[in-house]
Amino acid sequence: MRTQVAIIGAGPAGLLLAHLLHLDGIESVVIEARSQHYAENRIRAGVLEHHVVDVLDQTGLGARMHREGLRHEGTGLLFGGKLHRIDFQALVGQSVMVYGQHEVVRDLIAARQAAGAPLLFECADVLVSGFQGGSPEVRFTQGGQAHTLHCDVIAGCDGFHGVCRPALPPGSWRGYDRVYPFGWLGILADAPPSAEELIYANHERGFALCSQRSPTVQRLYLQCAPDEEVEAWSDDRIWSELGTRLACDGFQLRTGRIFQKGVTPMRSYVAEPMQCGRLFLAGDAAHIVPPTGAKGMNSAVADVLLLSRAIGRWYGSGDDAGLEGYSAAALRRIWKVQRFSWWMTTLFHRFDGASDFDRRVQLAELDYVVGSREASAALAENYVGLPLT
- Residues labelled catalytic: 72, 200, 291, 295, 383
SS3 percent helix, strand, coil of the chain, rounded to 5, is: 40, 30, 30
Residue positions counted in the chain: 389
Terminal alpha carbon distance of the chain: 33
How far apart are alpha carbons 96 and 198 in whole angstroms?
11
Q: In this structure, are strands 199-202 and 74-79 parallel, antiparallel, or unpaired? A: parallel
Q: What are phi and psi of 30, to 5 degrees?
A: -100, 125
Cite the DSSP H helix spans in the chain. Answer: 12-23, 36-41, 50-58, 63-68, 88-92, 101-114, 164-167, 235-245, 296-317, 321-324, 326-348, 356-371, 373-384
Q: Nearest to residue 149, comparing CAs of 126, 167, 115?
A: 126
373: helix, coil or strand?
A: helix
Contact 141, 147 (CB under 8 A): yes
Using CB atoms within 10 Å of the CB of residue 367, give its burial: 0 to 12 exposed, 13 to 18 middle, 19+ buried. Answer: middle
CA–CA separation, 332 and 318 (whole Å) = 25
Task: Report the distance separating Cα 345 and Cα 333, nearest Å.
Answer: 18
Q: Residues near 262 by Cβ (< 8 Å), separated by ≥ 6? A: 185, 186, 230
Burial degree of 143 (CB within 10 A; 0-12, 13-18, 19+): exposed
Residue 287 gets the label, from left (phi > 0), alpha (psi -120 to 50) or beta, of beta
Other Cβ atoms less than 10 A from the Cβ of 20: the count is: 21
CA angle centred on 88, ends 87 and 90, rounded to 5°:
70
7: left (phi over 0), alpha (psi -120 to 50) or beta: beta
